[in-house]
A = this chain, B = another copy of it.
Amino acid sequence: MTSSTQISNFDLYYWPGLQGRGEFIRLALEAAGVAYRDVARLPEAEGGGAKAVVGMMRSPGSWMVPLAPPILKTGDLVLAQVANILFFLGPKLDLCSEREDQRWYTNQLQLTITDLVAEIHDTHHPISTSMYYEQQREEAIKKAQAFVAQRMPKFLNYFENIIQKSTAGYLIGEHLSYVDTSMFQVLEGLSYAFPTAFAEYSGSIPGLLALRDRIRKHPGIANYLSSDRRLPFNEHGIFRRYPELNVPLHPNKDAS
């Protein structure tokens, strides 16, 4: 629940205009139904805009200087790195287990999602983040083919096996955790960026698709998704829909 007038303990700083890595933090906060400020989406006159993010990176008002957003300011803490922010928020938002072993595993799975997200980003920027997509399109097509054929199945199969063993239908323990909301985002994003391959692979991940549908209907998330706080996927974020990268799961299937 974003509001500039409410008192908030959580100020999120992320580039306006895209979901990006900030979305993993937003989804956790929205699932928990807590008030937060999405600072860069406020008008510049109220301290918002991309300027706010740059300002936090240059002068965070803390010794805890971050390298990149998302950045969460809460009390005296200035936290960066998605998995770090979520590990911190988990107990405060009731989005992780109380069991120590399950908390370590929650962090471990979130870091595995971090790896997957980096690979997804690199499908459209395999050579350099400083170059335009158009300058690395040929390499991107190769990378996207390798990703959907090998890496996407490897990661999703791993998570599918985990949820198949779950009795509660969540990735860890008996309750919703931030790994569930993060996996929801990954599944929605893969479906957006690689609609053909994702549809082809869907039959292999019934447990994950059931999780996705369940998260969509979670009261906090459903409320968020129907609001204007949820930005649509677009070609500035991690998950981008470029026609030439929408490659099939088995590129050589029809090549004989």
Contacts and interface: CB of A to CB of B under 8 A. Distances in A.
Tell me the number of copies of this protein: 2
A127 interface: yes
A209 B118 CA distance: 29
Interface in A128-173: 128-131, 139, 142-143, 146-147, 150-151, 155, 158, 161-162, 165
B105 A128 contact: no
A80 B108 contact: yes
Contact of A146 (B87, B112, B127, B155): B127
Contacts of A162: 65
Contacts of A165: 63
Contacts of A52: none
26 contacts: A64-B101, A64-B104, A64-B105, A65-B161, A66-B108, A67-B112, A67-B158, A76-B101, A80-B108, A81-B108, A81-B111, A81-B112, A84-B108, A84-B111, A88-B104, A111-B111, A115-B118, A126-B139, A127-B139, A127-B143, A128-B143, A128-B150, A129-B150, A129-B151, A130-B146, A139-B139
Q: Top 8 nearest A-B pairs by Cβ distance?
A: A128-B146, A81-B111, A84-B108, A81-B108, A127-B142, A67-B158, A84-B107, A130-B150
Given A126-B126, A127-B143, 9 more contacts: A63-B165, A64-B104, A65-B162, A81-B107, A83-B83, A84-B104, A84-B108, A127-B146, A130-B150
